[in-house]
Structure formats: C-alpha cells, structure tokens
Structure 1
Amino acid sequence: MVSFVALIAALWIVPALAIITILALRRPRWAEFLNLGSAIIVFGLSLAILVAVPKNTWVGGAGYLLLTPLGAWVLFCVGVVYLLASIYAIGYMRLLPEEGPRLHKYYALQAGFALTMLIAPLMNNPGIFWIAIDFTTIVSAFMVGFEREAECIEAAWKYLIIVSAGLALALLGIILFYWGGTFILGPSYALTWANLRESAPKVPEVLLFFSFLLTLVGFGTKVGLAPMHTWLPDAHSEGPAPASAMLSGALLNIALLGIYRFMSIVDAGGYALMGHTALLVLGVLSLLVAALFIVRQDGAKRMLAYSSLEHMGVLAIGFGFGGPIAFAGAMYHMINHSLTKSLMFFGAGNMMRAYGTKAMSQMRRILRFYPFSGGVWLLGAVAITGAPPFGLFLSELTILRGGILSANPWAVWVMALLLILIFTAFLNHFRRMIWGPEPEPGTEPTLKLSFWNILPMLLAFVPILVLGLWWPQGLWNFFMQAFAVAP
C-alpha cells in the first residue's frame, strides 16, 4: 500500500531543503538549479500522489492530513506550473537588473511559494487551510514586489491589504461554521471538513448560508472573483513573469478548492441550490467584468490578468452549475488553464523584455522579429480564448453542456456570449501586434531569447494541443470519481 504520509512529507521537505540551501549558498547560479531540481522532484511526487490517490477520502497524520481526488488534482496543477515557471525563471530573471546579489532570494521565494501552495490542499482542518492560504499571500506578495519598482511595490501592498481583508471575512465564516456545529456535536469538537458536513443538516438555514457567504466572499477575494478582484490586475501584471504564472495557474485553483469544500457543507445541509447559485452569480459577474476590461486593455500582462479573472469565472460557473458533467468540465479546465496561462505569461515576459515595454501597442510585427516564440505565443492566444483545437475549448464546451442540464440554464447563454466577446477582443489585440505598423526606425527589438525562455512555452503548448484533440477516458473516469466523493 502506498504511504501517503511519506509522499506528502517528501513533497514538503524537498522545497524546504531547497529554500535553506539557496539562502545558505547565496549564489544565483546554484539557486537557479536548486529551485529547478526541487520543481522536478515536486512534479514527480505530485504525479505519484495523483496516480495513487484512493477512490475515497484518505485521512492521515493524526487526522490533520486530507487527500481527495479533487485535492490531488489541484496539487498536480501546482506541480506542473511550478516546474514550468522554474524552467522559465532561469531565462527571464537573467534579463533583469536583479541578476546579481539579490537574485538567489527570488528563487528562495519561488520555492517557498510552491511549498505554501503544496500545504493548503492537504489540510483536513479548515482553520489550518486558512492559515496556509494566508502564508501563500505573504510569500507571493514579496514576489510581486521583487523588482522594487514603484508600480510593483504598490501592487504588492494592494494585494496584501485587499486579500487580507477578504481572508478576515473567510476566517469569520469558518468561526460561524464551527459555532453552528456546536449545536449538534457539542461545545468542543475537531474542526474538520467531515464534521462540518455531518452537522450541516441540523444547523439553522440562515446561519449556514451566512457562514458560506462569508467564506465565498473571503476566499473569492483570493480567487479574484468580481467584484473583489481589484488586486488581481495589478499583482499579476507587475510581478516577474514566472511569478505571475504561479499566481494565476496554481494559486487561484487552491482558493477555489476552498470555496468548493465550503459549498459541499451547504450541499450536505440540504441547501445546494442557494450555494451553487451564489457561486454561479459571482462567476458570471467575473466573466462580464473580464470581458469589458479585456476589450480596452493595452498592457500585455494586464490583459492576461483579466483573462485569469475570466477563467476563474468559468471555473466558478462550472462548479456552480453542479452535476457530474459540469464538474468534469471544471476539473479539465483547471489543468488546461494552468498550462495555457503559463505559456501566455512566458510569452508576454519575452516580448516585454524584447521590446522594452509592457504596452501591446508598442509590440509591433512580433512574428517578423520572433517567428518561433511569437508564433507559439499567438497559438497560445488562440488557445486561451477557448477556441478549438485546444484543451480549453473542450473544457468550456463541457461546462456549457453541464449547464444546460442544471437548475440555472440561463447562465449558459450569458457565458457563451461573453466568451465570444472575449475571443474577438483578445485576437484583435494580437492582430495589431502581428500585422500592425512597422516599429519606428531604431526601436526594433534585438534581444536574443535563450533556450530557457522558449522551452517552457513548448512544454506547455504540446499538452494543451493534445488535450484539445484527445480527452483520455481515464481522466473522465477520474473526474467522475472525484465528483462522487467529498472534496
């Protein structure tokens, strides 16, 4: 039998050792490859956990550890993005002025960020889950402000203040959930997801739903759902590109996992329609806000930040629809978004360094100067809009299919219309970068992109194409298994 305790311990020990060694050696070149080695091992361990995950919920570590199919899937997404970002960071960070005495600190932060994200999905105690999410905020805020420019520092503080306020509401919601359980389980009991679900049917409706709304708004702030999303465009656009990929492709999934677990408590209480509808409304609102802002964006990474808002809205809609089909589509969307958004941030980072600007209006004729990497970035732009033949097309189509069978079919048509608007706006921006006017004389980009800048884009592109052409039956079976058990 697989020892999940040993696998989980190794999953945490590897990045922790990388952090300690990087800070002890203080050598940028060593730091690059220590972090990369950590990422490779974490990816392997997360894959091993995913393959071996039991069909039912596993609880261990004196009751503090929880492993479910959905939690293992979120862990795997973290492992994938951490590996891709660690490869890309070697090429990207060497292009920054920080390529010197401070550079090793970035890699320690990246390993630390990965470690905090690997802890949260495995927590059986909602309170400790909240603490782990809070730690992800603290570590990632330092990554957002790493370049020390005024905009970066402002974005980091904005991120800290808004997300901390949201998490304070989430903590209040957890306290109220626990208080509701005291009416059934006694004045003192173990705070676990299972105990909260067990007590939910006898908790007063108003208290149960109010507790959920607090956690929905609180963790929804961390996810970046509208209207609590105001930190997200700044943080994702001002941090280094590999940090942006980890924020968007990995962290947001974890916060959404928390929302889904709290929603399962409301479901157990017999009020599924209220909980799912609340999440669905925030998802639709997020999609609407993203569509309106993407149309008018000029900053490359800022546009991708609003794209993250879009895809978190799609995930919220998928989980909000409920039912096995929409749930499977949402899980498939997680991995496809993690891969595609990583590719897009890597491409944006390359073009920003090549052209010396964040403005897409100044990135002209990218295929002429960077035919290969620019071409992959363009294909990634097609993929991120949910167009065929890429993975996000299949996942969004599956969510729409599930929505037709749900209690809220109206959201299907709203989602479809907004996705069409985003597709048009997104590709219009890329049309100008590819076929727009020639750069001014003397402003042509001359930067030569390294192997490290291009390899992770290819590593992300291949699976999103494969997953768009072929949805493995084994994955579908796994998603159905994940739907059938508690999250």
Structure 2
Amino acid sequence: MVNFDALIAALWTVPSAAIVAILAIRRPRWGEFLNLLSAFIVFALTLAILVAAPDAAWVGGSQYLLLTPLGAWVLFCVGVVYLLASIYAIGYMRLLPEEEPRLHKFYALQAGFALTMLVAPLMNNPGIFWIAIDFTTIVSAFLVGFEREAECIEAAWKYLIVVSAGLALALLGIILFYWGGTFSLGPTYALTWANLRATAPKVPETLLFFSFLLTLVGFGTKVGLAPMHTWLPDAHSEGPAPASAMLSGALLNIALLGIYRFLAIVDAGGYGGIGHTALLVLGVFSLAVAGLFIVRQDGAKRMLAYSSLEHMGVLAIGFGFGGPLAFAGALYHMLNHSLTKSLMFFGAGNMMRAYGTKFMSQMRRVLRYYPFSGGIWLLGAVAITGAPPFGLFLSELTILRGGILSANPWAVWVMAALLILIFTAFLNHFRRMIWGPEPEPGATPSLRLSAWNILPMLLAFVPILVLGLWWPNGLWTFFVAAFRVAP
C-alpha cells in the first residue's frame, strides 16, 4: 500500500530544504543548483503520486490532507512547470548580470512559490485551502516585482490588490458555505469538502448559489477569468519569464481546482445546472475578451497573458459543460496548456533579451537570427492556438464534443468561432515577426542563447507533439475515473 503521508511530507520537505539552503549559502550558482535539484525531485514525487493516485479520495494527516485523482493531476502539472522553469531560469537569469548579488533570492522565491502551489491542492479544509492560495499570491508577487523596474513593481502591487480583493469575496463565500452546513450539523463542525457536499442538499437554494457565486468570483479573480482578469496581463508580462511560466502554467490551475470543488458542492445540493451555467458564461466571456485584446496586442508577453485568459476560459467552459467527455478534455487541456505556455514564455523571454524590447513589432526576421529556438517558438505558437497536430487541438476538440452532449450546446458554436478568431490574430503577429521587414540599423540581435535557454523549450515541445498525435489510453481511463470521484 502506498504511503501517501510520506510522499506528501517529502514533497513539501524538498523545496523547504532548498529555500533554507539557498538563503544560507547566498551564492547564485548554488541557488541555481539547489533549486534545480529540488525541481527534479518534486517532479519525480508528483509523478509517483499521480501514478499511485487512489481510485477514491484519500484523507490523511489527521483529516487535514486530501488527495483525489484531480488533485494529483494538478500537482503533476505544477511539478512539470516547476522543473521546466527551473531549467530555463538558469539561462534567463544569467542574462541579468546587474542582479547578480541577489540572484540567490530569486531561486529561493521560485522554490517557495512551488512549495505554496504544492500545498494548496492537498488541503482538505476549504479555509486552509484559501490560506494556501493567499500564500501563493504573496510569494509570487515578489517574483513579479523582482527586477525592480517601475512597471514590475506597479504590476506586483496591482496583482496583490486585485487578487486580495477577489480572495476576500472567496473567504466570505466559504463562511456562508459553512453557515449553510450549520442547519444540519449544528453550530460547529469540521470544515471539510466532504462535509460541505454532504450538507448541501439541506441548504436553502438561494444561500447555496450565492455562496458559490462569491467563491466563483473570488477564485475566478485568481484564475484570471474576465472581467476579474485586470491583474493578469501586467503580472504575466512584467515578471521574469520563468516566473511568468509558473504563474500561467501552474498557479491558475490550482485556483480553478478550488472553483471546481465548490461547483461539486452545488452539484451535490441539486442545483448544479445553475452553477455550471454561471461558470460557462464566465468562460465564454473570458474567451471573447482574450480574443479582442490579442488582435491589437504588441507586447510579446502581454499577448501570452491574454492567451492564458483564453485557455482558462476554455477550461472553465470544459468544466461548465460537465460530463465525462468535457471533463476529460479539460484535464488533457490543463497539461497541454502548462507545457505549451511554458514553451511560449521561454521563447518570449529569449527574444525580449535578444532584441532588447518587449514589443513584437520590433522583433523582426526571428528565424534568420535564431533558426532553432525561433522555429520551436513558432511551432509553439501554432500549438497554443489549438491547431493540429498538437495536444491542445485534441483537448479543445474533446471539450467541444462534450459540449454538444451538454445542457448548453450553444456555447460550442461561440467557443469555436472565438477560437478561430484567436488563431488568426495570434499567428498574424508571428507572421510579422518571421517574415516582416528587416530590423532597423543597429537593432540586429547578436545575443548568443545558451543551452539553458533552449533545452527547456525542446523538453516542452516534444510532449506537446506526442500528446497531439497520441492520446494514451491510460490517461483516458484515468480521466474517466477521476470524473467519478468527488474532487
């Protein structure tokens, strides 16, 4: 029998030890090594937890820990992105010699950010889950403002203020959920996900749905769903590229996990139709907002931030449709998005350093100067738009198929139309970067990218292609089983 208590203890101990060692040694090269070692071990542990994930919910740690198949999947996505970002951080941060004296702090923060994301999905108490999500905000805000430029600091403060306001609403929703449970369990009881689901049928419909709306808006702010997304373009575009990859590819999934768990409570109460529709509407609106902003965007990482808004909208639509088919598509989409968005932020970071600008209009003839890394970046752009033969195409197609069988088939056609718009707009920007005019005199890039800058892009690209050509039957079986287990 698998000892999940020991696996989880190791999962938290490794990055914690890395943080202490990095801050004690205070040397950037040691920081690189210790953070990378932590990332490798964390990846192995999350993979082990995923492979051994229980068929039913596992509760341990004096009832404070919860491991479900969905939670194990989210943890695995964190492990994947943390490893890729840690490899890329070595090459990217070495391009900032002026930051050399405090580089060790970046690696300590990166390990700390990973630690907070590894804690939240395993919390059996919604209140402690909320605290863990709050900690992810605090630690990641320091990463967003790490480069200490005015725009970075402004983005970090905006991130803190907007997300904190949203999380305050989520906390109020959790309190109301707890109050609803007192009608059947008495004035005090253990606040767990299972208890909230068990008491949901006895909670008044208005209170149950209002509680869900508060948590939907609150954690939806953390996910970056429109119209609560205003922090996301700034935070994703101004932070260092490795931090942006972790924000987009890992953190947003965890907040979405919280929404889905509260949606399961509404489902248990018999009012899931309203909850699914509310999540579906937010997902469609997020997709529309993302599409409109991508059309006119010039900032490379800012465009990728709106792409994150798009894909969180797709995930919200998948969970909003409900049913095993759409659910399986959403989970497949989650991993493919984590891989592809990491690749795209790495490529954007490379080109921003090479051309000395954030703006795509000034990045010209990319393939001429960077044929290999630029070529992978271009293929990543095709993949992130959901085009074949990459993984996101299969996941989006599966979500659309699940939507046809749902109670809201209208969203299928809206989603398909918006995805076509985003595909056209996104690749139009890359067309100008690849085949546009020659760079201005004196603007020719001369930066030599190291293997640390290119290797993580390749490591992300290979599974994106494989998962687009082959959907492993074991994954399909896992997704169907995960759908049957309470999240």
TM-score tier, shorter chain, comes to: over 0.9
* Structure 1 residue 441 displacement after superposition: 1.8
Counterpart of 1:404? 404
SS of match in other structure, 2:291? helix
User: Could you say which residue in structure 2 is the equivalent of 1:423?
Assistant: 423
Q: How far did 1:69 drift?
A: 0.1
Q: Identify the residue that residue 304 of structure 1 maps to in structure 2.
A: 304
Instruction: State the AA in 1 paired with 2:371.
Output: P
Q: Distance in 2 between matches of 1:392 and 1:466?
A: 11
Corresponding residue of 2:6: 6
Give distance in 2, aligned partners of 1:443 and 1:295: 25
Partner of 1:267: 267
1:443 Cα deviation after fit: 1.4
Q: Is the contact made by 1:241 and 1:345 (CA closer than 8 Å) also made in structure 2?
A: yes
> 1:434 maps to what in 2?
434
The one-letter amino acid of 1:43's match is F
Asked if 1:375 is matched to 2:351, the reply is no
Q: Which amino acid aligns with 2:427?
A: L
Corresponding residue pairs, total? 487
- Secondary structure of 1:138 counterpart: helix
Q: C-alpha separation between the residues in 2 aligned to 1:473 and 1:442?
A: 53
- In the alignment, what sits opposite 1:160? 160
5+ residue gaps, structure 2, are none
TM-score (norm 1): 1.00
| Matched residue, 2:123 | 123
> What residue number does 2:193 align with?
193
Question: Which residue matches 1:475?
Answer: 475
Q: Show the counterpart of 1:48.
A: 48
Shift of 1:440: 1.3
1:278: Cα distance to partner?
0.3
TM-fit CA distance, 1:42 = 0.1
SS of corresponding position for 1:100: helix
| CA–CA separation in structure 1 for the residues paired with 2:67 and 2:100 | 41
For residues 66-145 of structure 1, what are the structure 2 equivalents within 5 Å? 66-145=66-145
How far apart in 1 are the matches of 2:98 and 2:30? Answer: 15
Cα distance in structure 1, aligned partners of 2:396 and 2:18: 37
Output the amino acid matched with 1:314.
Answer: V
Deviation at 1:99, TM superposition (A): 3.8
Separation in structure 2 between the aligned mates of residue 450 and residue 98 of structure 1, nearest angstrom:
19
The corresponding residue for 1:16 is 16
In 2, the alpha carbon distance for the partners of 1:485 and 1:144 equals 36
Deviates more, 1:192-201 or 1:97-106: 97-106
Could you say which residue in structure 2 is the equivalent of 1:344? 344
How far the C-alpha of 1:442 sits from its partner, in A, is 1.9
Give the letter for the 1:423 counterpart: F
Q: CA offsets per residue over residues 142-175 of structure 1, 9 Å max, x none?
A: 0000000000000000000000000000000000
Mapped to 2, the partners of 1:408 and 1:451 lie a distance apart of 47
Q: In 1, distance between residues paired with 2:20 and 2:440?
A: 48
Aligned to 1:223: 223
Q: 1:374 Cα deviation (Å)?
A: 0.1
SS of the equivalent of 1:102 reads helix
Q: C-alpha distance in 2, partners of 1:442/1:228? A: 41
2:59 aligns to what SS in structure 1? strand
CA distance in 1, matches of 2:36, 2:231: 29
Aligned residue for 2:226, secondary structure, equals coil
> How far apart, CA to CA, are the structure 2 residues paired with 1:441 and 1:82?
39
1:98 CA displacement = 4.2
Match of 2:276 in 1: 276
1:238 aligns with 2:238: yes
Distance in 1 (alpha carbons) for counterparts of 2:63 and 2:279: 29
AA paired with 1:286? S
1:59 counterpart SS class: strand
2:315 aligned residue: 315
- Using the TM superposition, give the Cα deviation of residue 255 of structure 1 relative to its aligned residue in structure 2, in angstroms: 0.1
Q: Which residue of 1 aligns with 2:324?
A: 324
Query: Which one-letter code corresponds to 1:184 in the other structure?
Result: S
Distance 2:199 2:441 in 1: 70
Asked whether the equivalents of residues 354 and 447 of structure 1 are also in contact (C-alpha less than 8 Å), the reply is yes
Cα distance in 1, alignment partners of residues 391 and 277 from structure 2: 26
TM-score using structure 2 length: 1.00
3-state DSSP of counterpart to 2:253: helix
The Cα RMSD (Å) is: 0.4
Deviations 1:335-372 (A, max 9, x none): 00000000000000000000000000000000000000
Distance (Å, rounded) in 2 between the aligned partners of 1:445 and 1:227: 38
Instruction: Answer whether contact 1:98 1:147 (CA < 8 A) is retained.
Output: no
- What is the distance in 1 between the residues matched to 2:436 and 2:51? 47
* Secondary structure of residue in 1 paired with 2:66: strand
Whether 2:221 is the aligned partner of 1:213: answer no
Question: 2: distance between equivalents of 1:439 and 1:291?
Answer: 28
CA–CA separation in structure 2 for the residues paired with 1:344 and 1:371: 16
**Alpha-carbon distance in structure 2 between the residues aligned to 1:250 and 1:36:** 17
Q: State the alpha-carbon separation in 2 of the partners of residues 191 and 400 from structure 1.
A: 36
Alpha-carbon deviations, 1:204-231, whole Å to 9, x = none?
Answer: 0000000000000000000000000000
1:355 aligns with 2:350: no
Distance 1:227 1:378 in 2: 30
Instruction: Tell me the CA shift for residue 438 of structure 1.
Output: 0.2
CA distance in structure 1 between the partners assigned to 2:103 and 2:387 by the alignment: 38
SS for the counterpart of 2:100 is coil
- 1:92-151 per-residue CA deviation (whole Å, 9 max, x = no partner) reads 000014441110000000000000000000000000000000000000000000000000
Query: Percent identity, aligned pairs only?
Result: 89
Q: State the SS of the aligned residue for 2:270.
A: coil
How far apart in 1 are the matches of 2:89 and 2:106? Answer: 9
Q: Counterpart amino acid of 1:80?
A: V
The one-letter code sitting in structure 2 at the alignment partner of 1:263 is L
Q: Residues 385-427 of structure 1, C-alpha deviation per residue, up to 9 Å, x if partnerless?
A: 0000000000000000000000000000000000000000000
